[in-house]
Structure 1
Amino acid sequence: MVCPPRSTTMAKEATARSAWQNWQLTWALRPHREQLQFLLLLISGMIVLPHLPYLPWWISLGFGALLGLRLWQLLTRRASFGPWARSLMVLLASAGIWLTYRTLIGQEAGTAYLLLLLALKLQEQHTRFGRGKRPTDSLRDLYLTLFLGLFLLLAGFFNSQSLLLALYLLLCIVVILIILIYAHQLPASAEISTTVSASTGLSDVARRALVLCLQAIPLMIVLFFLFPRSGGPLWGIPRDQASAKTGMSASMRPGDINQLIQNPSIALRAEFVDGSVAIQAQRAQLYWRGPVLDNFDGRSWRSTESLAATTRELPDIRLPANATRSVSYRVTLEPQGYQWLFLLDWPDRFPRVERQVGQLGFSPSGVSRFQLQARGGQPLPQVGLERLRYEASSNLSAQLNDQPDTTWRERWLQLPPGFNPRTLELAQTWKLQALRQRGGDAPGAEESQAIDSLHHTLIQQALRYLREQGFVYSLSPPLLGQHSVDEFLFQTRSGFCEHYSSAFVVLMRALDIPARVVTGYQGGEPNEVDDTWVVRQSDAHAWTEVWLPLSGWTRVDPTAMVAPERLNIGASAQQRQQQAGWRHWPGLSWVEDSVRAARLRWEALNHRWNQWVLQYNREQQQSLLQRLGLAQQDWRRLSAYVLVALAGGMGILASWILLPWRQWWQRGAHVIYFYWVVFILRQPSLIPPERWLARLYLRFEQRCLHLLLAQSGLPVWAYSLRRGQRQHYQRQGHEGWATWGQRVLIPLPGPTRDAAQAILAQLLALRYRPLGRQAESTAATTQALLELETCIHRLSLSLPHAKV
């Protein structure tokens, strides 16, 4: 490889440095009001970013066009639109919002409307700045724009409350604070020197804004824990039902679960008492029970169970002889529009929900349903739109001991007339063959054992048909027509869990075996970082249950006949194996492992964020207040505590800013940092030589002052008391270090004076060394500074001789 000539490299570096300096000079020469306009454009673009995935395309395009137009006007110094043009734009925006949302208020419509108004407000800024208007008008428009931006940042939490979004919005708040401070900072002079960095002003303002944010953190923490919290959501605006996230529903059509399988978002997290590693061996038995579908109309399955049918009684379960012990777990259910508590089959203890709920119980089919309840007993309309935590216990080997009566039996045998004739014919053929093998007569209703044996035979016949007739598991099967089960069993033979469960239940009902479809989630994956079990939307699954006279409701998963790996490793892992491209390259499998480890760490961090911040509700605040001595809800005392905490925090902040303690603390922090880096870490090269040399000058001056006070018979602490004598020995503004040394060091004893003068000579030599020696090794300069540090430390009045 041929390196470019040094002159070429230096020319490129000089060109880049010149471009950066030209940009700084161009920025500095712009009027202060134009600089504010560019900063407003920057924060406007940052504000709209979190809303882009949830906005219609024309609003995103219109917002970007208005920002681009405003930027072009500023760069070309063209006038913005007049009041009539802006009024027309407002009318067009209002009409567009109305046609899209059929309203101008509400969560989605209101947010989109305010975003367009924010972009239009930027057009009004230019007419107010610098056109003879009062400064108060300019600041008022600036305040309106920034405060509207703060509200839109808060509205970003309507769609997501993730940790990443919170950090991004915190960055936006810092930028808004920088703009507010910069707006009140007048330019120092109209003529700006080209030797001064034009970014110095913004860097100083940014540093000041960061300091203000850090100072506000203690007050933020106090208000977070003590500010009274309501029983329901903070905002009274109900969430739009059409914008609910994808999740389980009380119906199933071909393709519904396929949409969930393509979604990698988290559905729920479980924390097992025995740990996620211990439960991993039972992955194939982890069925998170959701809605049970019983009604089939030929195309889709629906649930006919209502919330009113739930009871407070646990499902009647039966444990086999080889039953395993129960597993206890705690679930965090993500807000995705659910009305069910997803529990493992089968629960042996009533779940305990960590918030106030209204109706909570089990349906006749064993599904746990709930209705959220606000303070005062009123049900909340935002069902399932917030995280829910609950504790439960289940036995994975238990069975539901249910005896359906005549009405329920007809319900589990229902089939629509006129659909899937070939499937019905196939079922009758199997049934006749099974009866012929048993002697030709059907068992009577009282012969439970014979019926159970016949049903077992027919179930195995159906499973054998799926296993041996060339069925494949596919997430992109062909579309099905009116007779969907016939086309699936005899033509396409390709599908995923909902195709197999639907066809299997139709076959069972055609064989006079009560059956139903159960939807939910199956499996999951462990997160070794925080020892939780993660179930994603891609783990959505549908299986079947058949009723047998001797066994009750028994789970049968026909998908296992075609894709057993779907149960053993889970759908998420199965998709990653199919999509993993790095494992096909030798030696690059570590890339996928690293990506997975990083994903698990980030998900664990988000889980802690959800637990410690987002899940801090009214009940947890009451528990905290009880530990603080407030057994009852005494809001007067709580308000008094909040006021006292605010007053104390403001007092500490004021004393930090106004009193000289701040300088002492800063000086002490710098000293601790210096000694930590140099003497503990033994990395003196991390300290810049210029800063180190400046510190040595100040330390040498302070050491000499202490020695002079001690020479006069005063203690060292008198240095802070005898201000007049201290000012006499300090270096004056017109004195150089050499002149100061000749004036001050004379009263010291001979050896001490010689040592001090030698130290001062070396300091001056390092400070004013020739330009030809500036490029000498950093190691030599660091060693010289270390030796001077030791000499200054050893400088005292009792030196027998001067040796430096």
Structure 2
Amino acid sequence: MSGAQITVLDQRAMGWLLIGLGLTILPHLLHLPLWAGLLIAALGLWRWLAARRNWPLPDTKLKLILTLGLIVVIFVHYGTLVGRESGTALLVIMMGLKLMELRQRRDVLVLMFLAYFILVTHFLYSQTIPLAIYVFTVAWLLLGLHMYLASRELRPLRHNLRGAAELMLLGLPLMLALFVLFPRIEGPIWGLPKDAYAGMTGLSDSMSPGAISQLSQSDAVAFRVEFDGAAPPPEKRYWRGPVFWTTDGRTWTPGPQLNRAGWRMPALESRGAAVSYTVTLEPHNRAWLFALDLPASASEQGRITRDYQLVAPKPVRQRLKYHMLSYTDYNTGALSEIERRLGLLLPRERNPRTVALGQELRREAASDEEVVRRALALFRQQPFTYSLTPPLLGSDDPSDAFLFDTRTGFCEHFAASFTLMMRAAGIPARVVTGYQGGELNPVDDYYIVRQRDAHAWSEVWLAGRGWVRIDPTAAVAPERIERSIDTSAVSAGAVRFNVPQSDLLARAWRRMQLNLDAVNNRWNQWVLGYGPERQAEFLRNLGLDIKDWRQLGGVFVVVMGGLLAGIATWVLLPRQHHRDPVVKTYRRFCRKLARRGLKKADHETAGDFARRVKRQRPELAAQVDRITALYGHLRYAGTGSDTQLRLLKQSVVEFSP
């Protein structure tokens, strides 16, 4: 096979090959640079014309120059040849260059195996259900094409596609057994390159005006939450994330680490029952996790910091599921000295009008609680506007510009300015970012928290109450707490909020979206999230109480051995050719005669049966001879055509004994 000149790559075969390769790389065109997509298209067109017009293939020198040149171009474009982006681009372009040397059958086989490998790389970008269906469909087409091109007897492609489907169906039990029973370990077997996590969205480790408003224009899912009981009301569904202590007057950052050796988390006094829930967090390439405000106990995947952040030991780069307990009514207790210093820290000579306003509130109020009430009343009574596209704050004093000039902003504007006012009034305060709200999916009874639900609020420390959440945004736009942002109105500038749909078509469309999200959630839980715990749970439901990986390995060997034996028996034992269209058509002919009392004996050949029929029914001689001759030619000569098969089928249909 390796040394023979290719005979199957005529114009038609080349066309099918190019279609198969095109479908293989099609999703990658969304990630590749424009020049790479145009180059692949040009190489495919050239190879098609070369097959059609019998053009000579390039010599070795030209191919070497092109290969080295394109490797250099990829290195210059990506800065490396190692990684998801550059590696994928290199594979795809090398596949295009391989088209220039399709001289022997082994070149076709190498190209096909390269296509299989490239097909798998799509899962480096996404593992969604539509992509999985696409990959399996293209894999079936490639396998049929592989059989079509590798066969020395060129049969119609549809026959090879049927054979490819049979092979994949035979392999399906093995695939399912491998997925269900193969011992699982925590985390990936190998590490992906850093650029594999590019494009993950989420909150930032700092906050500046406009950061969260940009995030809140995204409908992407941040995480999903399933409550063990009744869910808290919307005004208590604050999902705590990064906490910011220090600011230069514009940007807020976490500040110094509060969890040095010797620090102990203060006792959290609860004022109600704990809320139990499970979070399925989408990867965001950051170390923090999200918990309902305030977390009562850390999960196995994270720890709680001194300021009640839930953080993981490393960045979350794969979907993570964890169970949590939280209190929505609480008292955090006493304030440490370092928290007091950080909570009162003001940037030097920045935002003087904001500082002056906070000091004025302090002078006019009799207590810290009254200072907070007066500040919130200011936001309610003054003409402040909640907007995703506020004016730029070009001043070095952005809080001053927001409070006294533009008075238009998003949640980070309100939270930052309120926190500065509280500090100026002598009240320890900090900024907390995370998410607020969430949409109920009634299909599977869980909540979807999207990036558009990103939010920022303040916390102030009040004597006898501890850290208290204050959301100044709610004073200006209380509907933000009840409903999420309507992203369809973002481009218009003003913010609208999602309301229950009254239109029948809109309700049907929303219902379909929720059903699709429920399907995706189950896919995430049972396929992408099928780890050790889920595997053990599934096997227990099947009655298999597996204690360790050795027992699981034994079950795996037994099941795989049984499946392989069954498949081998199916393949090797002689079977009737009930799927052969020629045999199937001839049997129909025999059944018609059997209904007239002329049944074919098992020992009788087609010719003997035809002679017996003609003796008993001479008027059928011409039709019987014609059908028997076509059957013998197609069944035994091995040179039959599709035209002869159609003629046999038509003759049997018209046969009426």
Per the TM alignment, residue 730 of structure 1 is displaced from its structure 2 partner at its CA by: 8.9
Alignment check: 8 A CA contact 1:267 1:334 kept = yes
Alignment check: 8 A CA contact 1:317 1:346 kept = no
Matching of residue 392 in structure 1 with residue 324 in structure 2:
yes
Q: 1:251 aligns to what SS in structure 2?
A: coil
CA deviation profile, 1:593-647 (whole Å, cap 9, x unmatched): 232222211111111111111111234445667854653332xx76565455444
Q: 1:547 aligns to what SS in structure 2?
A: strand
2:549 corresponds in structure 1 to: 633
Matching of residue 268 in structure 1 with residue 223 in structure 2:
yes
Name which one, 1 or 2, has greater alpha-carbon Rg. Answer: 1
Per the TM alignment, residue 410 of structure 1 is displaced from its structure 2 partner at its CA by: 1.1
Per the TM alignment, residue 68 of structure 1 is displaced from its structure 2 partner at its CA by: 3.8
Hey, what's the Cα distance between the residues in 1 that align with 2:45 and 2:380?
Answer: 61
Q: How does 1:183-262 map to 2 (within 5 A)?
A: 183-186=149-152, 201-240=156-195, 243=198, 245-262=200-217
CA deviation profile, 1:403-452 (whole Å, cap 9, x unmatched): 22332211011111021112122222333333xxxxxxxxxxxxxxxxxx
1:303 corresponds in structure 2 to: 254
CA deviation profile, 1:740-764 (whole Å, cap 9, x unmatched): 8999xxxxxxxxxxxxxxxxxxxx9
Q: 1:487 to 1:418 in 2, by over 3 A?
A: same
Per the TM alignment, residue 104 of structure 1 is displaced from its structure 2 partner at its CA by: 1.1
1:469 corresponds in structure 2 to: 382
Q: 1:143 aligns to what SS in structure 2?
A: helix
Q: 1:62 to 1:623 in 2, by over 3 A?
A: same
Q: 1:506 to 1:736 in 2, by over 3 A?
A: farther
Q: 1:240 aligns to what SS in structure 2?
A: helix
Q: 1:736 to 1:395 in 2, by over 3 A?
A: farther
CA deviation profile, 1:151-204 (whole Å, cap 9, x unmatched): 22222111211111111111121121011110123456xxxxxxxxxxx81222
Q: 1:74 to 1:105 in 2, by over 3 A?
A: same
Hey, what's the Cα distance between the residues in 1 that align with 2:653 and 2:538?
Answer: 60
Hey, what's the Cα distance between the residues in 2 that align with 1:558 and 1:203?
Answer: 66
Hey, what's the Cα distance between the residues in 2 that align with 1:570 and 1:343?
Answer: 19
Per the TM alignment, residue 565 of structure 1 is displaced from its structure 2 partner at its CA by: 1.3
Matching of residue 559 in structure 1 with residue 473 in structure 2:
yes
Q: 1:510 to 1:218 in 2, by over 3 A?
A: same
Alignment check: 8 A CA contact 1:296 1:415 kept = yes
Matching of residue 504 in structure 1 with residue 452 in structure 2:
no
1:168 to 134, 138, 162: 134
Matching of residue 732 in structure 1 with residue 648 in structure 2:
no
Alignment check: 8 A CA contact 2:333 2:465 kept = no
Matching of residue 368 in structure 1 with residue 323 in structure 2:
no
Alignment check: 8 A CA contact 1:731 1:737 kept = no
Q: 1:273 to 1:579 in 2, by over 3 A?
A: farther
Alignment check: 8 A CA contact 1:294 1:304 kept = yes
1:288 corresponds in structure 2 to: 239
Matching of residue 599 in structure 1 with residue 576 in structure 2:
no
Hey, what's the Cα distance between the residues in 1 that align with 2:590 and 2:570?
Answer: 24
Hey, what's the Cα distance between the residues in 2 that align with 1:250 and 1:35?
Answer: 57
Q: 1:81 aligns to what SS in structure 2?
A: coil
Q: How does 1:13-412 map to 2 (within 5 A)?
A: 32-125=9-102, 128=103, 138-186=104-152, 201-240=156-195, 243=198, 245-274=200-229, 278-279=230-231, 282-304=233-255, 306=257, 309=260, 316-320=267-271, 323=272, 325-348=273-296, 350-353=297-300, 357=301, 360-371=302-313, 383-396=315-328, 398-412=329-343
Q: How does 1:442-591 map to 2 (within 5 A)?
A: 454-481=367-394, 482-571=396-485, 589-591=503-505
Alignment check: 8 A CA contact 2:415 2:457 kept = yes
Q: 1:312 to 1:622 in 2, by over 3 A?
A: farther
Q: 2:374 aligns to what SS in structure 1?
A: helix
TM norm structure 1: 0.69
1:170 counterpart letter in structure 2: F
Mark the runs of 5 or more structure 2 residues left unpaired by the alignment: 1-6, 495-500, 622-650
Alignment check: 8 A CA contact 2:585 2:652 kept = no
1:283 counterpart letter in structure 2: P
2:124 counterpart letter in structure 1: F
Q: How does 1:612-627 map to 2 (within 5 A)?
A: 612-621=526-535
Alignment check: 8 A CA contact 1:310 1:364 kept = no
Q: 1:298 to 1:218 in 2, by over 3 A?
A: same
Hey, what's the Cα distance between the residues in 2 that align with 1:525 and 1:209?
Answer: 44
Matching of residue 415 in structure 1 with residue 343 in structure 2:
no
Matching of residue 433 in structure 1 with residue 364 in structure 2:
yes
Alignment check: 8 A CA contact 1:311 1:363 kept = no
1:231 counterpart letter in structure 2: E
TM norm structure 2: 0.83
Q: 2:458 aligns to what SS in structure 1?
A: strand
Q: 1:696 to 1:139 in 2, by over 3 A?
A: closer
2:114 counterpart letter in structure 1: L
1:361 counterpart letter in structure 2: R
Mark the runs of 5 or more structure 1 residues left unpaired by the alignment: 1-29, 129-137, 189-199, 373-382, 435-452, 581-586, 671-691, 709-718, 744-763, 770-787, 789-804
Aligned identity (percent) is: 36
Per the TM alignment, residue 518 of structure 1 is displaced from its structure 2 partner at its CA by: 0.6
Aligned length: 613
Per the TM alignment, residue 247 of structure 1 is displaced from its structure 2 partner at its CA by: 0.9
Hey, what's the Cα distance between the residues in 1 that align with 2:341 and 2:591?
Answer: 95
CA deviation profile, 1:104-124 (whole Å, cap 9, x unmatched): 112222122112111111222
Alignment check: 8 A CA contact 2:388 2:493 kept = no
CA deviation profile, 1:201-242 (whole Å, cap 9, x unmatched): 122221221121111101111111233444331333333377
1:775 corresponds in structure 2 to: none
Hey, what's the Cα distance between the residues in 1 that align with 2:589 and 2:615?
Answer: 9
Q: 1:420 to 1:161 in 2, by over 3 A?
A: same
Q: CA RMSD in A?
A: 3.8
Hey, what's the Cα distance between the residues in 1 that align with 2:158 and 2:620?
Answer: 40
Hey, what's the Cα distance between the residues in 2 that align with 1:559 and 1:576?
Answer: 18
Q: 2:66 aligns to what SS in structure 1?
A: helix
2:325 counterpart letter in structure 1: S
Q: 1:490 to 1:629 in 2, by over 3 A?
A: closer
Q: 1:37 to 1:392 in 2, by over 3 A?
A: same
Hey, what's the Cα distance between the residues in 2 that align with 1:474 and 1:417?
Answer: 29
CA deviation profile, 1:383-404 (whole Å, cap 9, x unmatched): 20011111112232x1242322
Alignment check: 8 A CA contact 1:501 1:557 kept = yes
Alignment check: 8 A CA contact 1:566 1:574 kept = no
Alignment check: 8 A CA contact 1:226 1:642 kept = yes
Hey, what's the Cα distance between the residues in 1 that align with 2:592 and 2:275?
Answer: 70
Hey, what's the Cα distance between the residues in 2 that align with 1:648 and 1:741?
Answer: 55
Alignment check: 8 A CA contact 2:224 2:447 kept = yes
Q: 2:127 aligns to what SS in structure 1?
A: coil
Which range moves more in the overlay, 567-576 or 148-157?
A: 567-576
Per the TM alignment, residue 313 of structure 1 is displaced from its structure 2 partner at its CA by: 7.4
